[in-house]
Amino acid sequence: MDTREILDRLRTAKSAHLGWVNRARALIDGKPVDKDKVPVKHTDCIFGKWYYGDGRKLASLPSYQAIEAPHDKLHAIYQEIFDLLFSREREGFIARIFDSRKKQEQRREQARARFRELQQMSDVIVARLDALERDVRAMAQRLEPKPEAAPPPAGPPEAEAEFIDLGKLSD
C-alpha cells in the first residue's frame, strides 16, 4: 500500500468518524436515524473497523496509538447516551405509556449533556488523526529515495577548446 492509499483510507476513516458523530447528534435530537448506523461498540463503527483493520499498519506510530483511548472513551459515553435514550424500549408497552413526558425530556437533556463530552472526545480524535496524517507524510518523505547528487556541470565545449596553457606564454 503506497502513501497516497494510506492517506486516502485515513481520510475516509476520519470522515466516517465525523459522520458517526453527526448521526449520534441527530439521534439525541430525536431525528429519525437508523440506530444501526450509530453502533455502540468501538470496533463496529466504520472508523473502528479501519483502526483495528487496515489502520494497524500504522500501529508503530505513537500518533496512531494515541487514538485508541479517546475512541474507547467516546463509545463508552455513547453507550450511556444510548441507554438514556433507548433503555425504555426494553420495557413493556404499559410502562412506556406511563413514562411522563417530563422524564423523557430529562433523559434527553442528560443525553445532550453527555453528548457535549462525546463531542470533546471526538475533537481529540480528529486532532490526533490530523497528527497521524502529518506523521505518515513525514515518514513517507524520509523514506522517499533521494536523487543522487549530479556531478558539477561541465563548461561549454568551446571553453575547453580555448584553453591556453599560461606556462607556454612565458617563452
In a domain, 149, yes or no: no
pLDDT value of position 55:
93
Q: How many folded domains does the chain comprise? A: 1
Domain assignment present for residue 159? The answer is: no
Identify whether 161 is part of a domain: no
pLDDT at 151 over 80: no
- Does 166 reside within a domain? no
74-101 pLDDT tens trace? 999 999 998 888 876 555 566 556 667 7
| 164 occurs within a structural domain | no
42 in any annotated domain: yes
* pTM for this model (two decimals): 0.75
When pLDDT is cut at 50, 70 and 90, the band that residue 161 belongs to is very low
Full residue range of the structural domain in which residue 33 is found: 3-144
Q: pLDDT value at position 166?
A: 46
- For the cut 60, the answer to whether the pLDDT of residue 165 exceeds it is no
Residue 65, in any domain of the structure: yes
DSSP string for residues in the chain: --HHHHHHHHHHHHHHHHHHHHHHHHHHTT----GGGS-SSTTTSHHHHHHTTGGGGGTTSHHHHHHHHHHHHHHHHHHHHHHHHHGGGGS-HHHHHHS-HHHHHHHHHHHHHHHHHHHHHHHHHHHHHHHHHHHHHHHHHHHSPPPPPPPPPPPPHHHHHT---GGGGG-
